Homo-oligomer: A and B are copies of this chain.
Amino acid sequence: MKIYNEIIYKPIGIINSPFKEAKGTPIQPTAAKGVDGEITIFNDYIEGLTDLEGFSNIILLYHFHLSGKALLKIKPFMDDRTHGIFATRAPSRPNPIGFSIVRLVNICNNKLHIKDIDIIDGTFLLDIKPFIPEFDIREAKKTGWIKNNIHKLTNSKDDGRFLK
């Protein structure tokens, strides 16, 4: 078996948003309704966008370039208690990959106009996937520690606690 000590990816584009620093950035797209952003896809990858405009919602995977060293137990923005990093969506993960489902407004050449962006300006994009309800929606019976904290979503903002 091939052992992977390292998996190497390359950015396919860059995400621009009104959020120039961690502090004050919304913590989820559902808490950033209507906020406009733009993605610039690098030239090598433009052909891969063909037919994407048919989808109203897209999944973005990106690199949390500002997050500090990986922390295995953290206090997330929406709770005063500590939880394992994999039970949270905090950025200080062993592999700092961000995940956001945003609205796709339109595509003009290599520029994607998106809405509901909760991503810091200058973030590198790793992948785009179409959001497909029949693939991606679940009825979740249990939502752990977040269940009694979900009311804090809209008012919770990044406060910089996971910066380098």
Number of copies: 2
Is A86 in contact with B52, judged by CB distance below 8 angstroms? yes
Indicate if A80 sits at the interface (CB-CB under 8 A): no
CA distance A85 to B84 in the complex (A): 34
Is A132 in contact with B143, judged by CB distance below 8 angstroms? yes
Chain B residues, Cβ within 8 Å of A59: 99
A3 to chain B, nearest CB (A): 9
CA distance A89 to B130 in the complex (A): 7
Residues of A at the B interface (CB closer than 8 Å) are: 1-2, 4-12, 28-30, 44-45, 47-57, 59, 61, 63, 65, 72-73, 82-89, 93-95, 97, 99, 101, 122, 124, 126-146, 150, 153
